[in-house]
Amino acid sequence: MSAIQNIFRLYAPEYLKLYGDSMPQTHRRTISAIRQCRDGSFGANVFRCASCGNIHITQCSCGNRHCPTCQNDKAQQWLLKQMKNLLPCSYFLITFTVPDELRPFIRSNQSAAYSAMFSAASASLKTLAQDQRFIGAEKTGFTGILHTWGRQLQYHPHIHFIVPGGGLSSDDGDKWLPSRPDFFIRVEPLSIIYRAKFRDAMKQAGLFHSIDPSVFSKDWVVHSKAVGDGRASLKYLAPYVFRVAISNARIVSCDNHQVVFRYRKSGSNRLRSMTLDAMEFIRRFLQHVLPHGFMKIRHYGLLSSNSSTPIEKLHELISVVCKVVKLIVEPLLPKPNPVVCNLCGHSMRRAGFISARMLDTG
Tell me if 144 is assigned to some domain.
Answer: yes
- Domain shared by 18 and 91, yes or no: no
- Domain shared by 57 and 76, yes or no: no
pTM: 0.85
Q: Tally the domains of the chain.
A: 2
- Domain shared by 38 and 186, yes or no: no
pLDDT tens column, 314-329: 877 776 433 434 434 4
pLDDT tens column, 250-300: 999 999 999 999 999 887 889 999 999 999 999 999 999 999 999 999 999
> 193-197, long-range: CB within 8 Å, 24+ apart, which pairs?
193/123, 193/124, 193/127, 193/128, 194/96, 194/120, 194/121, 194/124, 194/220, 194/222, 195/120, 195/220, 197/119, 197/120, 197/123, 197/124
- Determine the structural domain holding residue 196 and report its residue range: 72-243+298-332
- Domain shared by 120 and 207, yes or no: yes
- Domain shared by 325 and 357, yes or no: no
* DSSP notation for 1-26: --HHHHHHHHHHHHHHHHHGGG--HH
pLDDT at 220: 97
- Domain shared by 41 and 144, yes or no: no
Maximal C-alpha separation, the chain: 70
For the chain, give the percent of residues with pLDDT over 70. 88
Q: E strand or H helix at 75, and its extent? A: helix 72-84
pLDDT tens column, 79-124: 777 777 788 888 999 999 999 999 999 999 999 999 999 999 999 9
pLDDT at 239: 63
**Distance of CA 123 to CAs 99, 126, 301, Å?**
19, 5, 11
- Domain shared by 324 and 354, yes or no: no
Tell me if 280 is assigned to some domain.
Answer: no
**Distance of CA 83 to CAs 24, 80, 139, 238, 332, Å?**
36, 5, 21, 11, 9
Tell me if 261 is assigned to some domain.
Answer: no
Tell me if 217 is assigned to some domain.
Answer: yes
- Domain shared by 347 and 198, yes or no: no
Sign of the dihedral through C-alpha 36, 40, 44, 48: positive
- Domain shared by 96 and 12, yes or no: no
- Domain shared by 152 and 99, yes or no: yes
- Domain shared by 128 and 82, yes or no: yes
- Domain shared by 41 and 102, yes or no: no
